[in-house]
Amino acid sequence: MRRDHENIRKGLSAAWPICLGYFPIGLSLGVLAQKGGLAPWQIGLMSLVVFAGGSQFIAVAMIASGASLAAIVTTTFMVNLRHLLMSSALSVHFPAVSRRFLALFAYGVTDESFAVNMARFNQGGWNRHSALVLNQAANATWFFSTLAGAYAGQFIPAGSLGIDYALTGMFICLLVFQLRSSIFVATALVAALCSVLTYLWLPGNAYVIMASCLAATAGFTLKRTLRHRKPLP
């Protein structure tokens, strides 16, 4: 029992900075989703089933624009593929663990929880139970903050407080934070060019998927080319 309390304490201690960051973002998502036409129960269900902030913001934007179900599912699937890599990297720390535990843990893997758990495992003194507490604490915070935003959004008039620009501003902020090197800048420019060209050529919202795939392929190819390029004598 004492060991369980210690695992919970360590997990919550590591989780609180993540939870502190999730709360305002979750509120924003809830408000934007409510303004996009989703009911509170739908927003809560999305946070429970998906639990991926970036793809949820994308899904809300596509729902508000009238995108097809196939386009939304495909786009969010592509965005969330990174979780496969993160889960694979963490799997080495879970030898001989039951599938039920792995499924519950994998459900709570996000960019932030992955980073904290990897750092704690590498430092030592960290176990799977504390890691699970961290994941689920972040999950609970995200769920309740998006649900709170959904109900709060009902009392905010449409277009007030810059709500109509909030989603655009959020994606601009996410883009700026991703521009960490020239490769990321080049990939962003390719994505912009591809999205404009495919928007002119393809009907509906298929251009979003096509531009994402082309930009990701271009960025990967550019990074691999630069990595293997030998310096000139």
The pLDDT assigned to 24 comes to 84
* Average confidence (pLDDT) over 5-11: 86
Give per-residue burial for 191-216: e unless 16+ CB within 10 Å, then b. Answer: beebbeebeeeeeebbbbbbbbebbe
The pLDDT assigned to 163 comes to 57
Other Cβ atoms less than 10 A from the Cβ of 9: the count is: 12
C-alpha of 161 from chain center: 25
| Domain locations along the chain | 2-158, 179-233
Other Cβ atoms less than 10 A from the Cβ of 40: the count is: 19
> Is the predicted pLDDT of residue 230 greater than 60, yes or no?
no
pLDDT class of 88 with cuts at 50, 70, 90 = confident
The pLDDT assigned to 160 comes to 58
Closest by CA position to 16, among listed 116, 108, 161: 116
Q: Is 177 exposed, middle or buried (0-12, 13-18, 19+ CB in 10 A)?
A: exposed
> Is the predicted pLDDT of residue 233 greater than 50, yes or no?
no
* Average confidence (pLDDT) over 34-59: 88
The pLDDT assigned to 178 comes to 66
For residues 19 and 138, the answer to whether their CB atoms sit within 8 Å is yes
> Is the predicted pLDDT of residue 231 greater than 60, yes or no?
no
Region of poorest pLDDT, from 71-75, 127-131, 167-171, 202-206: 167-171
Residues 6+ apart with CB under 8 A from 124: none
CA distance 180 to 225: 18
- Alpha helices, DSSP H only, in the chain? 2-35, 40-49, 53-64, 69-79, 82-90, 99-107, 111-123, 128-152, 163-178, 182-201, 206-228
User: With the C-alpha atoms ordered 62, 66, 69, 74, is the resulting torsion angle positive or negative?
Assistant: negative
Residue 197: C-alpha distances to residues 52, 57, 132, 200, 207 (Å) = 29, 24, 44, 5, 8
pLDDT tens-digit series, residues 168-204: 665 676 677 667 778 778 888 888 888 888 888 876 6
**pLDDT above 70 covers what percent of the chain?**
85
CA distance 138 to 25: 12
Closest by CA position to 60, among listed 131, 149, 132, 162: 149
Other Cβ atoms less than 10 A from the Cβ of 190: the count is: 18
Is the pTM for the entire model greater than 0.85?
Answer: no
What is the average pLDDT score of the chain? 82
Q: Which residue has 């404009």 as its token pair? A: 196
> Is the predicted pLDDT of residue 147 greater than 80, yes or no?
yes
The pLDDT assigned to 142 comes to 93
DSSP string across 64-83: HTT--HHHHHHHHHHHTTHH
